Amino acid sequence: MSVPDLDPQNSAVLEKIAKSGRKPVQESSPEELRANFVQDVKDTFGPLDEVHSIEDRDADGVPVRIYRPVETTEPSTALVYFHGGGFVVGSIDTHDGITRALAKRAGCVVISVDYRLAPEHQYPAALDDAWKATKWVLENAEELGIDVNKVGVGGDSVGGTLATIVARKGRDVGMPLATQLLIYPVTSRLADTPSYSLFSFGYGLTRDAMAWYWTQYLGDSDGSDDPDIAPTALRDMRRLPRAIVITAEVDVLRDEAETYAQRLFLAGVETEGYRYDGMIHGFLRLTGVVDRSNLALDEISESLAAALAKGWRDDDGFRPAS
């Protein structure tokens, strides 16, 4: 199996990383990685989308930031968003560009969740915060000006992991979620796919980095058989919210995410899967230096808007009252 061709602008990003002299993830401290991540976003994300309003709120003890694309008196569709960063780095600030873009281009309210980070707060802190924030949004939908039947969850990388786990937990307790937007998500703990072999190093996110991130999050635990850690451990995938699964062709996580999308589809879940050829993990943070990244945000937003507009329903067509 040959390695696919990289998008030329992605190649330039990787060349800059190689020449930076930075230590590998697994040899760095969380503080170093967080500072690097903040700087990288400043260097690579393009102009910010303008939205009507931005408000910081407290969601039962979890900090959230609410983006409203327009002023309206009608109930809006909404997306609860969890940022990526290996459970160790990232914040609502580093993902401000992505969440603004999704709000503006999909025409939905976005609630970005500032969950606690590892290793200071290991599993299940991030998941607990994601779950608590999502429930808060649904319980306060009327006050927030949101249509409770048209709320989705989403995230990138480990944020996608949190989103799909929250979607499953919501199914299990009858919590109405309209969709799950999974952007190059982590779905497995095993690192045993062909993409992990093909792109183990030299393409941004590495095999060793993923192993290090898991250790920060889980400590000495494995978690490979726990669906609250590794979504692929879930056996029954029926009646989950409709899914939009985005993958990057040149990414260690590609195969596990695409396998998860296939399993959703085979379980009867309405599923859209999009692979972005020649792109690397985290490409949505590169809109200022990779033209295809900005176009991808347009395309993803279009799919998201359509999925949220459909609203939540179960297999019998029942829709709960607002």
Residue positions annotated with a catalytic role: 157, 251, 281
CA 22 to chain CA centroid, nearest Å: 25
Please tell me the distance from the alpha carbon of residue 263 to that of residue 248, in angstroms, as a whole number.
18
3-state helix, strand, coil in the chain (%, to 5): 40, 20, 40
Task: With CA atoms as reference, report the closest residue to 50 among 96, 112, 111.
Answer: 96
Which two tokens mark 100?
């603004």
| Beta-sheet strands, E only, within 174-237 | 179-183
Q: Which residue has the tokens 């990383």?
A: 17
Parallel/antiparallel/unpaired status of strands 109-113 and 146-156: unpaired
Whether residue 293 contacts residue 286, with contact meaning beta carbons closer than 8 Å, is answered with yes
Burial pattern 2-19, b for ≥16 Cβ within 10 A else e, equals: eeeebbebbeebeeeeee
Distance linking the first and last C-alpha atoms of the chain: 51
